[in-house]
């Protein structure tokens, strides 16, 4: 059992959890004595008994460290929509918890919307505050508003006078939330989106920038755009037989060696505001190079990825597109946007909204999908010009990918869409892509990345296979 | 080309499509040839090293090493080994790939789909070269 194993691990530590200090507004009458079972909740009593048994007399392992975070009250807020949204809500809660935990922390689900969290190294106050932050993030993602004590309940493991474990309700939730608000460095920018959209498409909103300056015990270093390099990968227009487009993308380099490129270079736990920062850095690099290319009369197009989480919020989208305002019409006709990270089953209306927002600043809008995407009608209707997929992203063998690619291209072409393939690292996959009719190819097997886009050059099959002419 | 110990010419047929291997293999066997098979360029090269075929027929679009790369390697390993390149399984014209194969030294090229007589005739033509 996870709880038992976690206790064993905690038991091996030299120090027990720091002793909880008295709450500021603790009501002595509410403290449990040995004769008071947890009221009116048999599940809770059963959990308390289990914790008492597992702790095997070493209640200091549990006290303050174990928190029960319950979201059952959310069900009422959703009303009749609950059945449809339950799975997504659960996913959002679990993700919010997972993001806050350190490597040694553990959480398990308890009941429908309860979570037992074991914090390895936090004091009771810190653990409660962390639970409040989790609840706040969940409330923002689901409802676009700050959390209130109506939405959740925190219970903390405490030791009764007769040595039992009791899960005592944190009766100072309002103080906890006030303390959290006081610690956060609020900015002027409020990120609010339509709550229903947040749940349905999972993009979520976070007042991340306000959190970045808080909390001495946060477990991750904030991402900075300067953590990565920004390079250009040539894109081969197969039908025109030319390398005429350069895809700007992030890269992780060590000395001169590229360790990871594109999505693989991006940390997988970026918060939405960090992703915005990354997307803006790519855009700034691309726009700067585009303006230089125009000055030098270089002929090339530049494509840049933009993540759905950046586009999905009106405020973040606006901040992003403000970087394009310096680009005049001649520059805009040389820019391509590629939307990356679209959620599964994204509605056509949403796709259209995103495409329409980007088109005034670009020559065309592309969309990266999964290779088994089969609803291309909506992409065409939304004004997307080309759809593509990343060969390095999936779990297919090369033979399997070739079969899927053929179907992908056939489906896309039926709706008048061009196609592109990224990340193919073998000549055989590129050859299959050409034979299948993919319009654009880019990846290490085509040609290497450069630090700057260059003039368009001829590129044909001989060049692909390194055959001298 | 003298054939193996039994006298029959040993042909290595490399194609990732099992149906093609069966059909073409049967045509060649009926014509009196010994046929060994591989389903991609890499395994084809291993068969060349271990089974010493007298002639290779290779598709060009295959996973895990296609025919173009395989021909490049064959020309390094055994420059004199005759190769017939076949292609045409994709949705678009594959003549460009066949042209490349010829540039790399394929002795004959054949676009799919072809009649059974065509592949046998191509083998005969290459034998006589």
Write the secondary structure of chain A as one string of H (helix), E (strand) and C (coil). Answer: CHHHHHHHHHHCCCCCCCCCCCCCCCCHHHCCCCCCCCCCCHHHHHHHHHHHHHHCCCHHHCCCCEEEEECCCHHHHHHHHHHHHHHHHHHHHHHHHHHHCCCCCEEEEECCCEEEEECCCCCHHHHHHHHHHHHHHHHHHHHCCCCCCCCCEEEEEEECCCCCEEEEECCCHHHHHHHHHHHCCCCCCCCCCCHHHHHHHCCCCCCHHHHHCCCCCCCCCCCCHHHCEEEEEEEEECCCCEEEEEEEEEEEEECCEEEEEHHHHCCCCCCHHHHHHHHHHHHHHHHHHHHHHHHCCCCCEEEEEEEHHHHCCHHHHHHHHHHHCCCCHHHHCCEEEEEECCCCCCCHHHHHHHHHHHHHHCCEEEEECCCCCCCHHHHHHCCCCEEEEECCCCCCCHHHHHHHHHHHHHHHHHCCCEEEEECCCCHHHHHHHHHHCCCEECCCCCCCCECCCCCCEECCHHHHCCCCC
**ipTM of the prediction:** 0.91
> CB distance A427–B66 less than 8 Å?
yes
State how far the Cα of A226 lies from the Cα of A213, in Å rounded to an integer.
18
Q: How buried is residue A112: exposed, middle or buried, by Cβ count under 10 Å (0-12/13-18/19+)?
A: exposed
DSSP state, residue B114:
-
Looking at the predicted structure, is the pLDDT value of residue A329 above 50?
A: yes
Q: How buried is residue B117: exposed, middle or buried, by Cβ count under 10 Å (0-12/13-18/19+)?
A: exposed
pLDDT of residue A219: 52
Residue among B65, B87, B104 minimizing CB distance to A467: B104
* pLDDT classification of A194: cutoffs 50, 70, 90: very low
Instruction: Report yes or no: A142 at the B interface, CB cutoff 8 Å.
Output: no
A57-69: b or e for each residue (b if 16 or more CB lie within 10 Å)? eebbbbbbbbbbb
Residue in A closest to B63 by C-alpha: A399
Distance from CA of A432 to the nearest CA of B (A): 6
pLDDT of residue A423: 92
Residue in B closest to A403 by C-alpha: B63
B→A interface, C-beta within 8 Å: 16, 40-41, 60-66, 68-69, 72, 87, 89-92, 94, 96-97, 100, 103-104
Q: First vs last Cα of chain B: how many Å apart? A: 10
Residue among A398, A406, A436 minimizing CB distance to B63: A398
> CB distance A431–B66 less than 8 Å?
yes
Looking at the predicted structure, is the pLDDT value of residue A35 above 50?
A: no
pLDDT tens track for B10-30? 999 999 999 999 999 999 999
How far from chain centre, in Å, is Cα B6? 21
State how far the Cα of B97 lies from the Cα of B67, in Å rounded to an integer.
9
> CB distance A465–B64 less than 8 Å?
no
pLDDT of residue A216: 29
Looking at the predicted structure, is the pLDDT value of residue A465 above 50?
A: yes
> CB distance B64–A428 less than 8 Å?
yes
> CB distance A461–B41 less than 8 Å?
no
Looking at the predicted structure, is the pLDDT value of residue A36 above 80?
A: no
pLDDT of residue A360: 94
Whole-number average pLDDT of chain B: 91
Looking at the predicted structure, is the pLDDT value of residue A94 above 60?
A: yes
pLDDT of residue A86: 79
Q: Which residue did the predictor score with more confidence, A410 or A198?
A: A410
pLDDT of residue A7: 53
What count of other Cβ atoms lies within 10 Å of the Cβ of residue A145? 12
> CB distance B63–A399 less than 8 Å?
yes
* pLDDT classification of A140: cutoffs 50, 70, 90: low
Instruction: Please give the average per-residue pLDDT across A120-142, as a whole number.
Output: 79
> CB distance B94–A435 less than 8 Å?
yes
Contacts A429 to B, Cβ<8 Å:
63
Residue A374 half-sphere exposure toward CB, CA atoms < 13 A: 3
Please say whether the beta carbons of B13 and B35 come within 8 A: yes
State how far the Cα of A394 lies from the Cα of A279, in Å rounded to an integer.
23
Residue B64 half-sphere exposure toward CB, CA atoms < 13 A: 15
pLDDT of residue A389: 96
CB pairs under 8 A between A and B: 65
What count of other Cβ atoms lies within 10 Å of the Cβ of residue A375? 13
> CB distance A436–B16 less than 8 Å?
no
Looking at the predicted structure, is the pLDDT value of residue B118 above 50?
A: yes
pLDDT tens track for A401-426? 999 999 999 999 999 999 999 999 99
Please say whether the beta carbons of B56 and B84 come within 8 A: yes
pLDDT tens track for A206-243? 333 333 333 323 356 788 898 899 999 999 999 999 99
Secondary structure tally for chain B: helices H, strands E = 5, 5
Instruction: Report yes or no: A397 at the B interface, CB cutoff 8 Å.
Output: yes
Whole-number average pLDDT of chain A: 79
Q: Which residue did the predictor score with more confidence, A148 or A353?
A: A353
Please say whether the beta carbons of A416 and A380 come within 8 A: yes
> CB distance A409–B65 less than 8 Å?
no
């Amino acid at each position: 059992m996870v709880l038992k194993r976690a206790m064993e691990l905690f038991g091996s530590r030299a120090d027990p959890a720091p002793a909880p200090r008295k709450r500021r507004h603790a009501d002595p009458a509410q403290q449990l004595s040995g004769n008071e079972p947890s009221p009116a909740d048999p599940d809770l009593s059963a959990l308390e008994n289990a914790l008492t048994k597992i702790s095997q007399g070493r209640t200091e392992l549990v006290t303050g460290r174990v928190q029960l975070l319950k979201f059952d009250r959310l069900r009422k807020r959703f009303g009749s929509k609950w059945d449809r949204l339950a799975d997504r809500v659960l996913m959002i809660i679990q993700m919010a918890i997972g993001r806050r935990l350190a490597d040694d922390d553990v959480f398990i689900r308890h009941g429908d919307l309860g979570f037992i969290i074991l914090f390895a190294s936090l004091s009771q106050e810190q653990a409660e505050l962390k639970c409040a932050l989790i609840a706040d993030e969940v409330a923002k993602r689901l409802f676009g508003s700050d959390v209130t004590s109506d939405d959740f309940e925190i219970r903390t493991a405490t030791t009764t006078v007769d040595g039992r474990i009791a899960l005592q309700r944190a009766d100072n939730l309002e103080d906890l939330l006030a303390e959290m608000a006081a610690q956060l460095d609020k900015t002027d920018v409020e990120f609010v989106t339509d709550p229903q959209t947040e749940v349905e498409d999972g993009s979520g909103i976070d007042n991340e920038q306000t959190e970045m300056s808080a909390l001495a015990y946060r477990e991750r270093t904030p991402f900075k755009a300067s953590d990565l390099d920004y390079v250009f990968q040539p894109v081969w227009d197969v039908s025109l037989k030319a390398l005429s487009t350069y895809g700007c993308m992030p890269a992780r380099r060590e000395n001169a060696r590229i360790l990871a490129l594109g999505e693989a270079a991006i940390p997988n736990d970026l918060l939405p505001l960090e992703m915005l920062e990354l997307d803006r850095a790519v855009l700034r690099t691309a726009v700067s190079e585009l303006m230089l290319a125009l000055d030098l009369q270089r002929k090339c197009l530049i494509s840049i990825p933009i993540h759905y989480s950046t586009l999905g919020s009106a405020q973040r989208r606006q901040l992003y597109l403000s970087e394009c305002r310096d680009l005049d019409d001649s520059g805009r006709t040389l820019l391509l946007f590629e939307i990356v990270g679209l959620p599964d089953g994204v509605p056509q209306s949403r796709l259209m909204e995103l495409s329409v927002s980007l088109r005034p600043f670009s020559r065309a809008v592309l969309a990266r999908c999964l290779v088994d995407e089969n609803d291309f009608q909506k992409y065409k209707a939304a004004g997307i010009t080309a759809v593509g997929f990343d060969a390095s992203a999936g779990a297919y063998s090369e033979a399997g990918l070739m079969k899927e690619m053929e179907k992908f291209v056939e489906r896309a072409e039926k709706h008048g869409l061009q196609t592109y393939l990224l990340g193919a690292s073998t000549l055989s996959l590129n050859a299959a892509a050409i034979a299948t009719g993919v319009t654009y190819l880019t990846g290490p097997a085509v040609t290497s990345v450069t630090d700057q886009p260059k003039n368009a050059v001829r590129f044909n099959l001989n060049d692909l296979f390194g055959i001298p002419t | 080309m003298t054939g193996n110990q039994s006298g029959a010419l040993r042909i290595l047929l490399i194609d990732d499509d099992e149906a093609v291997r069966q059909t073409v293999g049967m045509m060649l066997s009926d014509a009196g040839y010994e046929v060994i098979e591989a389903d991609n360029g890499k395994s084809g090269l291993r068969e060349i090293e271990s089974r010493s075929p007298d002639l290779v027929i290779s598709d060009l679009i295959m996973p895990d090493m296609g025919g173009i790369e395989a021909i490049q390697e064959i020309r390094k390993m055994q420059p004199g080994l005759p190769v017939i390149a076949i292609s045409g399984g994709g949705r678009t014209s594959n003549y460009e790939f066949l042209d490349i194969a010829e540039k790399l030294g394929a002795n004959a090229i054949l676009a799919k789909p072809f009649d059974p007589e065509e592949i046998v005739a191509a083998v005969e033509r290459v034998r006589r070269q």
